[in-house]
Chain A
Amino acid sequence: MNDRLEADTAEALVFPSRPVPPAVVRPREGDVERIVRAAWDAHERDLYALAVTLVREREAAADVVGDAFVRLVREVRAGRAPEDVRGWLYRVVGNLVISRGRRLATARRFVHRLADRRVQESPETVLVRKELSPALTDALASLPTDMRVAIVLAARGAAGRDIAAAIGRSEAATRTLLTRARHRLRDRLSAAEGELR
């Protein structure tokens, strides 16, 4: 590992730049379809990957992406088209994932009225195992939802202010949370790697 470091000790290694979004969409008002379609073409795949990483169930991830774009339609139509569409969509997806986790708990409260079925809270499982390593999937799953949202948004290039908005915390608190989350994830991965040896 240190061999690589010597070649890489530059800031690119330590402070990697954010991934470059595939396109920057600068919407104008009054053109809902053009703006939303451009946003879709530029960001849907990226957002879907983000959502799948966060909720780990494709059907639920598709719902989250759909909800985010429907909100975009609403915002553009109301004359509030976001300037940074990707950042805004990231923020909404993160927020929806956190709300979803909370909504599962809400649904549990109602479940006795829905039907005589015993179900319990807590989202997710499987799936991403096919794309992420099992150790990484498990380590991510072990984090609280807000930590998971923060770490995945950051890994996919979201700005700090968007992460803060997504998880409903101040930027200072988000910075601290993100630091804790990344180190906690690393510690769990290291522990898992140690178990494999």
Chain B
Amino acid sequence: MSLAIRRPRDEHARVLELLGPAPAFPPDASDRDAVESHLGACRSCADRAVQLRRDAAAIAALDAGPTPDHVLQRIEAAMHVARPSLSPAIALAILALLTVAVLGASVGVGGLLSPSVLEPPAVDMTGKALRWETERVALGADRVVIDAGGRTFVGAGTAAPGGDPGSAARWTLELMWLEHGMEQRLFLYFGADDAHWWIDEIRLYDAAAGREADWASLPPGPYARTPFGRPWSGTLDVVGEGRTGPVRVRIEGAVLVTVPKAPLAGRRVEAGRDPFRAGGELECSGILQMTPREAERAIRSLGYAVSWRWNYATGPGTGYSEVRDEAPATGFISGTAPGVDGELIVFVEDPDRPMGQPVPWPARCGPTPAAP
């Protein structure tokens, strides 16, 4: 480690290497002394040290103010929810109740199910060596083995589960962990129709070296297609191909229970029957010229199931549309569309970086927007 035995040109590089990760990764005492000694004699490296420190200080100086109040409200709600754990028998009972609740409330996905098919699954996961649970999915397994890039990964048990709660028709379970000095991922993408849920797609990393790891290609599902309210049990064994060669995932002794997000309550919109279309029943309602929150009240008062999208541009001709359960507090409405579950989707633009334009008042509706 000593800098003294290095040639001068190496010393500069070595010093810059040591400056980079500090203080998150502090250097040892000998390196510290050597660096300070070097900086005392090297003007350009000393300048660099000052610049690096100033960059970090500038980043750390940001104060964005307090977190919005609604975040604390959400956390308080989470704290006061009665026992949320999905573990063993309680979890299964909760799942059954949730599924029944979905049935009771839904008129879309899951709405055609009869409660008689929703027997609480007689499955106990306490014997499973591996268990993960999210608000939507509980997965137990005896073993998870991934073969990729010439390596075998068995460390999924160390992964904290995450996932996208999604919608009534799509959601995910996502596991990420570190093994063999590299990141591995196992993502399960779920799908559902009126009566069944299944795994639509399984993804894992190809175990390429360095930072080049990417998704391997596995045959598309459905896998584990199962009626709502029932668990799926068995071993999933899927073989595919990555840039590094064949890949394989085996989830041995799996028990999988899941519940879709409750569908939005309310009146559905048929494909091609957007009520705000030209000639539609709400074209002249003036709702799309309101603020998003005002529009939300108006649309809900009319009984529609409604979902929101927060749109923002990320560059010329590109952008992103984020799902929102409630109308954004700011922005303007740029349009509507029927969703796949029959909900009415309303698009709201970020005023600082819009992707679309405000919806103009239709000329044929007369000079003044009518109240809804």
Residues of A within 8 A of B (CB): 1-2, 4-5, 8-11, 13-19, 32-33, 36, 40, 44-45, 47-49, 52-53, 57-62, 65-66, 69-70, 73-74, 77-78, 95-96, 99, 103-104, 106-107, 110-111, 113-117, 119-128, 131-133, 136, 140, 146, 151-160, 163-164, 168-175, 177-183, 185-186, 189-190
Contact = CB atoms under 8 A, between A and B. Distances in A.
Contacts of B340: 113-114
Interface stretch (B243-251, B254-262, B281-289, B310-318): B310-318
Contacts of B50: 1, 4-5, 8, 13
B170 interface: yes
Contacts of A123: 314, 320
Question: 6 smallest A-B Cβ distances: which pairs?
Answer: A179-B20, A155-B59, A115-B337, A120-B318, A52-B64, A155-B56
Interface stretch (B103-111, B143-151, B177-185, B221-229): B177-185
Contact of A154 (B24, B170, B313, B314): B24
The SS class assigned to the B binding surface is: mixed
Given A114-B345, A156-B60, A126 B84 contact: no
Nearest to B329: A59
Interface string B174-211: 10111001110000010000000000000000000001
B132 to A, nearest CB: 12
A9 B263 CA distance: 62
11 contacts: A2-B47, A14-B19, A14-B22, A14-B32, A32-B79, A62-B71, A107-B320, A107-B321, A114-B321, A114-B323, A132-B59
Contacts of A59: 310, 328
Interface residues of B, number: 84
Interface of B: 16-17, 19-27, 32, 35-36, 39-40, 43, 46-53, 55-60, 62-68, 70-72, 74-75, 78-79, 84-85, 162, 164, 170, 172, 174, 176-178, 181-183, 189, 211, 309-315, 317-323, 328, 337-340, 345, 347, 352-353, 355
The SS class assigned to the A binding surface is: helix
Given A103-B164, A122-B318, A45 B65 contact: yes
Contacts of B311: 119
B20 A180 contact: yes
Contacts of B352: 126-127
A191 B49 CA distance: 17
B340 to A, nearest CB: 5
B39 A14 contact: yes
A169 B183 contact: yes
Given A122-B320, A126-B353, A179-B20, A49 B63 contact: yes
